[in-house]
Chain A
Amino acid sequence: MSRGSTSPLKASFMRRFIARNAPAYAFLTPWLLGFFLLALGPILASLYLSFTRYDMVNAPKWVGLANYEYMFTRDRRFWKALNVTFTYVALAVPARLIMALGVAMLLDKGLRTIGLYRAIFYLPSLLGASIAIAILWRQLFAADGVVNAVLGYFGIQGAAWITNPDTSLYTLVVLAMWQFGSPMLIFLAGLRGIPKDLYEAAEIDGTPKWRQFTRITLPLLAPVIFFNLVLQTIEAFKTFSSAFIISNGTGAPADSLLFYTVYLFNEAFKFFRMGYASALAWVLLIIIAIFTAISFLTSKYWVHYENERD
């Protein structure tokens, strides 16, 4: 673009800018309208509402920081929800990434039917967010469900996985692990991008497979791992539908599935505390932002890009 336009030139620059970009903005209008009315508007409104008491019928009443104060000083369930969510993120994200990378490496062997396998392994991720899978999961892990029936063949007395607060969260971690499809596809693309001659050279030097993995695959894949990590962490913080369905919408048993988003939904749409729920939403936004920032800040120590000069 033309830089350093001086003031006499400014008018003609503006004219040119408009003439050049008007069609683009015309085409963007539907999206822009949607963004301002359906995304940005409500987002700002929720920031305002987080400082109010609002029951969806009567006008919001300004209460200052009261919502935030209650949240941090008196609300035990808020802390419980954070605890559940953090535990889940800490377990589910690595589990899913390891699974995804493992399967991606298996598929990277140059199979002829790779397209088919890719589709098959991706399938759970397509289905994963659906209500049906959550219901299926509940049946699988029920006390008299399929999982326990299979364990029974081996003489193992299974637990009531879903209804036992000690194990319920892990069933969701397993569900998350099973839905490794999208990070797997990205890993697969990343693996394809690693030059084959590096491995050949390593072979010739007699480097064991494990060292090839840690010295070649992992470092060269670091940008992709980083990308997947950030994306999956955000995704995990936002987990909702599976937890909502499996816990009957309440976080049961004994709040062991009280995901942050489930708690937020209940506060908003069950107990009509829109103001408080908005405050919860903003705190979640800040938490996710902090985690993303940490990922980015630490990334320079372990992520190297090929076109980067040291």
Chain B
Amino acid sequence: MELTRRRLLGAVGAGVAASALSAVPAKAATRIRHYWWGNPERDKRTFAVIETFQKANAGIEVSGETIGWGDYWTKMATQTAGRNMADLVQMDYRYLFEYVRRGALKPLDEYVGKSLMIKDFDQGPIAGGMVDGKLYALNIGSNSQVIVHNTRVFKEAGVDVDLINWTWDDFARACEQITAKSDGKVKGSDDLSLMIETFESWVRQNGREFYGADGKVAATVDDVASYWQMWANLRKKDVVRSKDKTVILDPPIAESGVAVGDTAMSHYWSNQLVGIQAVAKDKIGAAMVPHKKGGKPGQFIKPSMFMSLSRDTKDPESAIKYMNAWVTDPAITKILGLERGIPASKAVRDALAPGLNETEKLSVAYFDAIQSKVGALPLPAPKGAGEVRDAFMRIGTSVVLDRAKVKDAAEQFIADASDIVERAQ
């Protein structure tokens, strides 16, 4: 029985991986593959890194494979099933647990201190790559939530608050002020009703994690209802972006309100500051996610990207050599800059400091400013977290379009989310 089942599986795998397999050459002694999700800027830098590495390590050939975030995990899942993962894969905090639990990654502990030199790393970023007490993912950058805002509009509207310590009341007032001053041409903010990342901070401000230590949904109906109600109030005052823009899911950066110019604020991750400035007309600034009066810290610093060693690697020694170069070789860390987030090594950060441009300086300054205002890194999300995110956007859409009452929708979401997580285990 076991044999036939496996044979059947093989047949499926062969079909699925047929195209990918055909691309693999017969045998290359020291050839490693590196797979990452990217954008034009990131790809340019990464290929430059590969070139630099190959020059210094004549015996190792690195082949880079890149694709956008949208298709990245689909392709990865297919390659994982076909036992054809790249030696080194870029990993995200949200997916780390899932891939470790499915047995797709190798722990790095045996290399640490021998061929992987990460002694001067901050403790936070290291801990973020641990699962069940083992290191499965090397931090290649950290980031945090950020409210990106248009500094020109802020100035013209006379918004003058402390953007690190401000509260949700300040936020609402700023939205009203901006909308009024521009005669409604520029609305205060994007409507973040569908942004589960902002909502996660909201839940933490209420003193809970979205997912409890047992991996179950710990956010309450009240958390969801109060969050959606706040945005409903702002919609009623007409100080946030129009509904039909709000319900477009995961729009590209260039279509965000801050980039287009029809709103003055939006929610992003701090390593995206460079990318947003590139498409925005006015100079952008960085504010924290507003706090709750008397609430707990909601925001946190999270590893933005990891590099992980896959189960399918044939030459772990060479792969680790490459990985080590990413976080220690000055020539390489210089090419990478802050594009993937703030480096975890103090030595690397210090070396980079003099050569930073204005936006990069902004992200470093922002990073320094929030250090004492953030809470602990939440546990990695359980299996099913991606689907919960979809459910949040789906049910949130009904709320934004007035097709569901806030309270009913909140109940529905918590029920669905609990169901999804339970089914995924």
Give A contacts to B, CB under 8 Å.
37-38, 41-42, 44-46, 48-49, 55-60, 142-143, 160, 163-165, 248-255, 266, 269-272
Contact = CB atoms under 8 A, between A and B. Distances in A.
B244 A250 contact: no
12 contacts: A38-B18, A42-B12, A45-B11, A57-B80, A248-B248, A248-B250, A250-B390, A253-B247, A253-B397, A269-B77, A270-B387, A271-B386
B77 A272 contact: yes
Nearest to A144: B244
Given A56-B77, A254-B394, 5 more contacts: A45-B12, A56-B80, A58-B103, A59-B9, A250-B394
A270 B248 CA distance: 19
A35 to B, nearest CB: 13
B185 to A, nearest CB: 15
A164 B386 CA distance: 24
Interface residues on B, range: 35 or more
B245 interface: yes
Q: In this complex, which of A42, A57, A164 has the most chain B Cβ atoms within 10 angstroms of its Cβ?
A: A57
Interface in B86-136: 102-104
B386 A270 contact: yes
Q: In this complex, which of B9, B73, B104, B384 has the most chain A Cβ atoms within 10 angstroms of its Cβ?
A: B9
Contacts of B331: none
A163 B9 contact: no
B418 interface: no
A165 B11 contact: no
A37 B386 CA distance: 33
B11 A42 contact: yes
Interface in B240-290: 242-245, 247-250
Interface in B41-82: 70, 73-74, 77-78, 80-81
Given A42-B12, A254-B401, A60 B386 contact: no
A164 B403 CA distance: 11
B301 interface: no
Contacts of B397: 165, 252-254
A255 B6 CA distance: 37
B295 interface: no
A163 B247 contact: yes
Contacts of A270: 73-74, 386-387
Contacts of B248: 163, 248
Interface of B: 5-6, 8-9, 11-12, 14-15, 18, 70, 73-74, 77-78, 80-81, 102-104, 242-245, 247-250, 384, 386-387, 390, 393-394, 397-398, 401, 403, 424
Contacts of B249: 248, 250, 252
Nearest to A62: B5
B393 A250 contact: yes
Task: Name the 8 nearest CB pairs between A and B, nearest first.
Answer: A160-B244, A56-B81, A57-B102, A143-B244, A163-B244, A254-B397, A45-B12, A269-B74
Contacts of A254: 247, 394, 397-398, 401, 403
B103 A255 contact: no
Nearest to A48: B8
Contacts of B80: 56-57
B9 A60 contact: yes
B264 to A, nearest CB: 19
Nearest to A159: B244
Given A38-B15, A252-B247, A252-B249, A165 B102 contact: no
A101 B190 CA distance: 47
Nearest to A58: B102
Contacts of B104: 57
A239 to B, nearest CB: 20
Given A59-B5, A253-B401, A42 B247 contact: no
Contacts of A56: 77-78, 80-81
A254 B103 CA distance: 35
A143 B15 contact: no
Contacts of A46: 12
Contacts of B386: 270-271
Contacts of B243: 160, 163
Nearest to A249: B70
Contacts of B14: 37
Nearest to B82: A56
Contacts of A252: 247, 249, 393-394, 397
